[in-house]
Structure 1
Amino acid sequence: MAAMGLYLLEQADAVTGGTAGLALLLTHATPLSFAALFLLVNVPFFALALWRKGWKFTLKTIVCVGIVSGFTVICEMYFPVPDMHAVFGVVAGNVLVGMALLAVFRHGASLGGFNILALIAQEQFKMRAGYVQMSLDVTVVLLALTVIAPQGVLLSAFGAVIMNIILAFNHRPGRYRA
Structure 2
Amino acid sequence: MSPPILQRHTMVDDAQGIFTGTLFVSLALILLGQAGLLTGGTAGAAFLLHYATGVSFGKLFFLLNLPFYWFSWKYMGREFTIKTFLAIALLSALTEWTPQVFKVAAMHPAYAAVLGGLLLGSGCLFLARHRASLGGATIVTLYLQQYKGFRAGQVQLVIDCTVVVLALFVIPAERVAYSVLAAVLMGVFLWINHKPGRYAVT
Answer whether TM exceeds 0.5 for this pair. yes
- Any residues of structure 2 matched to 1:146-157 within 5 Å, and which? 146-157=169-180
Give the whole-Å Cα distance in 2 for the aligned partners of 1:168 and 1:142: 23
- Residue number in structure 1 paired with 2:110: 87
Give the whole-Å Cα distance in 2 for the aligned partners of 1:90 and 1:17: 13
- Residue number in structure 2 paired with 1:161: 184
Could you tell me the percent identity over the aligned residues?
43
Give the drift of 1:95: 1.0
Q: Indicate yes or no: 2:75 matched with 1:36.
A: no
Report SS of the residue matched to 1:84. coil
Give the drift of 1:70: 1.0
Structure 2 unaligned regions, length at least 5 = 1-23
Moved more, 80-89 or 161-170: 161-170
Deviations 1:61-110 (A, max 9, x none): 00000111111122211011111111111111121111111111111110
Give the drift of 1:128: 4.4
Give the whole-Å Cα distance in 1 for the aligned partners of 2:158 and 2:47: 18
Q: Indicate yes or no: 2:105 matched with 1:74.
A: no
Report SS of the residue matched to 2:184. helix
Q: Indicate yes or no: 2:137 matched with 1:114.
A: yes
Report SS of the residue matched to 2:55. coil
Give the whole-Å Cα distance in 1 for the aligned partners of 2:113 and 2:55: 22
Give the drift of 1:136: 1.3
- Any residues of structure 2 matched to 1:124-139 within 5 Å, and which? 124-125=147-148, 127-139=150-162
Q: Is the 8 A contact 1:57 1:108 kept in 2?
A: yes
Q: Is the 8 A contact 1:128 1:172 kept in 2?
A: no
- Residue number in structure 2 paired with 1:4: 27
Deviations 1:43-72 (A, max 9, x none): 112121111111111111000001111111
Provide the aligned length of Structure 1 versus Structure 2. Answer: 178
Structure 1 unaligned regions, length at least 5 = none
Task: Please tell me the residue identity of whatever aligns with 1:124.
Answer: Y
Give the drift of 1:175: 3.8
Task: Please tell me the residue identity of whatever aligns with 1:169.
Answer: I
- Any residues of structure 2 matched to 1:11-26 within 5 Å, and which? 11-26=34-49
Report SS of the residue matched to 2:71. helix
Which structure is larger by alpha-carbon Rg, 1 or 2?
2
Deviations 1:103-132 (A, max 9, x none): 111111101011112222333345543343
Give the drift of 1:134: 2.4
Moved more, 33-42 or 119-128: 119-128
Give the whole-Å Cα distance in 2 for the aligned partners of 1:30 and 1:101: 27
Q: 2:124 aligns with which of 76, 97, 101?
A: 101
- Residue number in structure 1 paired with 2:82: 59
